[in-house]
Amino acid sequence: MSVAIVVHGGAGTISPERIGTGMAGCNEAAQIGMRILEQGGTALDAVEAAVRAMEDNPNFNAGTGSCLTSEGNIEMDAGIMEGHTLQVGALAGIELVKNPIALARLVLQSPHAMLIGRGASLFAEEQGIAFCQLEDLLTERQYNNWKRAQAQHTTEAEDLFEEKKHGTVGAVAVDSHGHLAAATSTGGIINKHPGRVGDSPLVGCGFYADANAAISCTGYGEDFTRLTIARRIADAVGTGKTAQEAADEVIAFLGTQTKETGGVIVVDKHGNTGQAWNSENMMYGSAQNK
Ligand code: GLY
């Protein structure tokens, strides 16, 4: 049985210097996940480990390196799903946690599907997760982005930046049993309203996995949410489309519905992969062992 993993580190108009660093970070994360798959580990373990690696990489807008809210806080969203069990774990507005995806995995293992804000923090405490300081998550780059956005008094801050990027990280994988999993994590959008939740922790929107396909998305969260982008791709694979055809079809559909942009990564139960985006570029990496 072939194993495969695809990861992404966001889509948008990304400068050549940052593309190089970002692609390197994606490849590193894909290799971390692949080592788990090659050793007979589960797709769920692989996507969690790959996303953790990107959360720890300050070049990505997730975990360390997350963007700031209009109040200067960091509120993160994450979701993880296992295809053959349809078990899901998600968090919205989680604060002061280094690896939201690891906490989302604990939610998946609990009776709950999604926890938010204060209740999510309480759950982290109950699970013995150590809290960090805001400074541990904050990078100089994101602080400078926030200062510029604040100076313009806008919540559509990304429009201010030459490098317009939808910062989200994600991974999809299939393991040696043909089981699928998907994970997505983000700091959201720069200068967002406190409490704003994007697509990343919403099942069927920013991530989805079933018995046929696993999907992770990056893009303007409000559109990916109302268009349930991830679930549309799973349904397309379920009706016989290849991973690549399904990715292309749904990104084309996105383009008919909104001027906002984004990208998706997909893997199917046979280890076929797909990726598509309608922004200028998307940072991604993959590894396959047929
Ligand atoms: N796609 C990430 C977000 O909009 O929050």
pLDDT tens track for 213-229: 999 999 999 999 999 99
What pLDDT shows up at residue 48?
98
**Burial of residue 171, with CB atoms counted within 10 A of its CB: 0-12 exposed, 13-18 middle, 19 or more buried:** buried
pLDDT of 267 > 80? The answer is yes
The verdict on the CB of residue 210 being under 6 Å from ligand 1 is no
pLDDT of 153 > 80? The answer is no
Neighbouring residues of 55: CB distance < 8 A, sequence distance ≥ 6: 62, 63, 64, 98, 99, 100, 101, 169, 185
Question: What's the CA-to-centroid distance between 167 and ligand 1, angstroms?
Answer: 7
Half-sphere exposure of 24 (CA within 13 A, CB side): 9
Using CA atoms, how far residue 163 sits from 11, 25, 170, 231, in Å, is 10, 18, 20, 29
pLDDT of 146 > 50? The answer is yes
What pLDDT shows up at residue 165?
63
Q: Which of 246, 206, 255 is nearest to 228 (CA)?
A: 206
Instruction: Please report which confidence band the pLDDT of residue 162 belongs to, taking 50, 70 and 90 as the band edges.
Output: very low
Instruction: Please report which confidence band the pLDDT of residue 156 belongs to, taking 50, 70 and 90 as the band edges.
Output: very low
The verdict on the CB of residue 198 being under 6 Å from ligand 1 is yes
Q: What sign does the CA torsion over 276, 246, 9, 257 have?
A: positive
Q: Is 168 a catalytic residue?
A: yes
Mean residue pLDDT of the chain comes to 94
Each domain of the chain, given as residue ranges in start order, spans 3-289
Q: Could you tell me if 206 and 224 are in contact, meaning their C-beta atoms sit under 8 angstroms apart? A: yes
Q: Maximum distance among all alpha carbons in the chain?
A: 54
Dig out the tokens for 199 from the structure: 């697509």
The verdict on the CB of residue 166 being under 6 Å from ligand 1 is yes
Nearest CA to ligand 1 atom 4: 221
The beta strands (E) that lie in 39-178 are given as 76-82, 87-94, 114-116, 165-166, 169-174
pLDDT of 160 > 50? The answer is no
Instruction: Please report which confidence band the pLDDT of residue 152 belongs to, taking 50, 70 and 90 as the band edges.
Output: confident
| Mean per-residue pLDDT, 1-26 | 91
Question: What's the CA-to-centroid distance between 169 and ligand 1, angstroms?
Answer: 10
Question: What's the CA-to-centroid distance between 189 and ligand 1, angstroms?
Answer: 6
What pLDDT shows up at residue 16?
82
Torsions phi, psi for 3 (to 5 deg) = -115, 150
What pLDDT shows up at residue 158?
47
For residues 246 and 257, what is the distance between their CA atoms, to the nearest angstrom? Answer: 17
pLDDT of 14 > 90? The answer is no
pLDDT in tens, 56-107: 999 999 999 999 999 999 999 999 999 999 999 999 999 999 999 999 999 9
Answer with the residue of higher pLDDT: 158 or 6: 6
What pLDDT shows up at residue 155?
52
Question: What's the CA-to-centroid distance between 224 and ligand 1, angstroms?
Answer: 8
Could you say which architecture CATH assigns to the domain 3-289?
4-Layer Sandwich (3.60)
What pLDDT shows up at residue 6?
98
Q: Could you tell me if 211 and 269 are in contact, meaning their C-beta atoms sit under 8 angstroms apart? A: yes
Dig out the tokens for 261 from the structure: 């942009």
The verdict on the CB of residue 199 being under 6 Å from ligand 1 is yes
Q: Which residue out of 69, 168, 218, 261 is catalytically annotated?
A: 168
What pLDDT shows up at residue 116?
98
